[in-house]
Amino acid sequence: MRPKLIALMLCALPLFPSRADMSPGGGGTVAAVVPSIDLAQITRGRGVYQRFCVSCHGERGDGRGISAEWLNPKPRDFTRGIFKFRSTPSNSLPTTEDLLRTLRRGLHHTNMPSWEVIGERNLKAVVEYIKTFSPRWNTEAPGTPIPIPPATPDGDAARARGKELYATLGCFNCHGTSGHGDGPAAAELKDDWGERIAPFDFTNGARLKNGDLPEDIYRTFMTGLTGSPMPSYADALKPEDGWALVHYLRALQRGETK
């Protein structure tokens, strides 16, 4: 087995509470055991990564593969443990299922395709290998997914409320007053890697990058897109208001707004 792979596997071993933390009356609490990376998957995952992912994401998972310089947006850098598309709170690690969802679906308007064709076994293995690129996976567990409640009814009242929230929350600063992605802050936006990032234009009928289902849009409001200027609104939106905003934006997409 290659030394590099052995090192990765050792880094992935779970962390356990210190003796001081576990001692009775020591003033400490029992530390949570962070779930380990699934070591049994790493060898297969590395092979999958080398075959399908390395040309964009690079040998070190830093987004600097040989194809990266020609791609826009740039391939994800896995070494910082920053993931935009999650079901978990802002700045937390995604769940395994979150990563699998991205691999199965791909990301619209990028060079990241759906990899569902390589099969579930390979997808699960490469997810585990991707986790070895960032030390965050050794010290943190994924966040707890933010629940998505059943959708409220769509209609004029819901859309009107959504339009009001769009203004109150300042969505127009990036996405523009009419949702064209031309807000006053749009030209200056960059992601955490220093790359120029364009706000989404809701009016041109294009598919959203991480999915067009109502639940996908709701999830984005509540989790934010960590690594981008898009914040989480989990503390600002009640569930019914989140759905009102979803209904308004979907109406913008379909050209049905007044």
Contacts of 97 (CB under 8 A, 6+ apart): 87
What is the pLDDT confidence band of residue 229, given thresholds at 50, 70 and 90? very high
Same domain, yes or no: 183 and 129: no
Per-position b or e across 161-194, b if 16+ CB within 10 A of its CB: bbbebbeebebbebbbeebbbbbeebeebebeee
Total tally of structural domains belonging to the chain: 2
Same domain, yes or no: 114 and 62: yes
Same domain, yes or no: 118 and 187: no
Q: Structure pTM?
A: 0.83
3-state SS, residue 168: helix
Q: What is the pLDDT of residue 211?
A: 85
Taking 50 as the threshold, does the pLDDT of residue 42 lie above it? yes
Average pLDDT over residues 139-155: 95
For residue 144, being part of any structural domain is answered with: no
From 241, 51, 255, select the one nearest 157 (Cα to Cα). Answer: 241
What is the pLDDT confidence band of residue 249, given thresholds at 50, 70 and 90? very high
Same domain, yes or no: 99 and 46: yes
Taking 60 as the threshold, does the pLDDT of residue 33 lie above it? no
Q: What is the pLDDT of residue 160?
A: 97
What is the pLDDT confidence band of residue 34, given thresholds at 50, 70 and 90? low
Taking 90 as the threshold, does the pLDDT of residue 63 lie above it? yes
Least confident of 12-16, 98-102, 205-209, 238-242: 12-16
Same domain, yes or no: 96 and 184: no
Average pLDDT over residues 224-250: 96
Q: What is the pLDDT of residue 122?
A: 98
Same domain, yes or no: 100 and 192: no
Q: Residue 196 gets which letter from DSSP? A: B
Q: What is the pLDDT of residue 176?
A: 96
Instruction: Give whole-number Cα distances, 31 to 15, 18, 21, 37, 168, in Å.
Output: 9, 8, 7, 18, 41
Taking 50 as the threshold, does the pLDDT of residue 18 lie above it? no
For residue 145, being part of any structural domain is answered with: no
Instruction: Give whole-number Cα distances, 145 to 52, 95, 148, 204, 213, in Å.
Output: 29, 8, 9, 31, 17
For residue 69, being part of any structural domain is answered with: yes
For residue 151, being part of any structural domain is answered with: no
Same domain, yes or no: 165 and 61: no
Same domain, yes or no: 13 and 127: yes
- Residue 219's CATH number: 1.10.760.10
| Domain membership of residue 190 as a residue range | 156-254
For residue 163, being part of any structural domain is answered with: yes
Same domain, yes or no: 134 and 206: no
Structure tokens at 109: 């308007």
Q: What is the pLDDT of residue 87?
A: 97
Taking 70 as the threshold, does the pLDDT of residue 12 lie above it? no
Instruction: Give whole-number Cα distances, 11 to 71, 102, 137, in Å.
Output: 31, 25, 9
Structure tokens at 92: 């937390």
For residue 43, being part of any structural domain is answered with: yes
Q: What is the pLDDT of residue 118?
A: 97
Same domain, yes or no: 131 and 162: no
Judge whether 134 and 80 are in contact, CB under 8 Å. Answer: yes
- What burial class does residue 142 get, using C-beta atoms within 10 Å of its C-beta: 0-12 exposed, 13-18 middle, 19+ buried? buried
Rg (CA), the chain: 21
For residue 75, being part of any structural domain is answered with: yes
Task: Report the C-alpha gap between 35 and 59 in whole angstroms.
Answer: 25
Neighbours of 96 (CB within 10 A): 15
- What burial class does residue 39 get, using C-beta atoms within 10 Å of its C-beta: 0-12 exposed, 13-18 middle, 19+ buried? middle
Taking 70 as the threshold, does the pLDDT of residue 38 lie above it? yes
- What burial class does residue 91 get, using C-beta atoms within 10 Å of its C-beta: 0-12 exposed, 13-18 middle, 19+ buried? middle
Same domain, yes or no: 121 and 243: no
For residue 110, being part of any structural domain is answered with: yes
Q: What is the pLDDT of residue 212?
A: 83
Same domain, yes or no: 107 and 204: no
Q: What is the pLDDT of residue 35?
A: 57
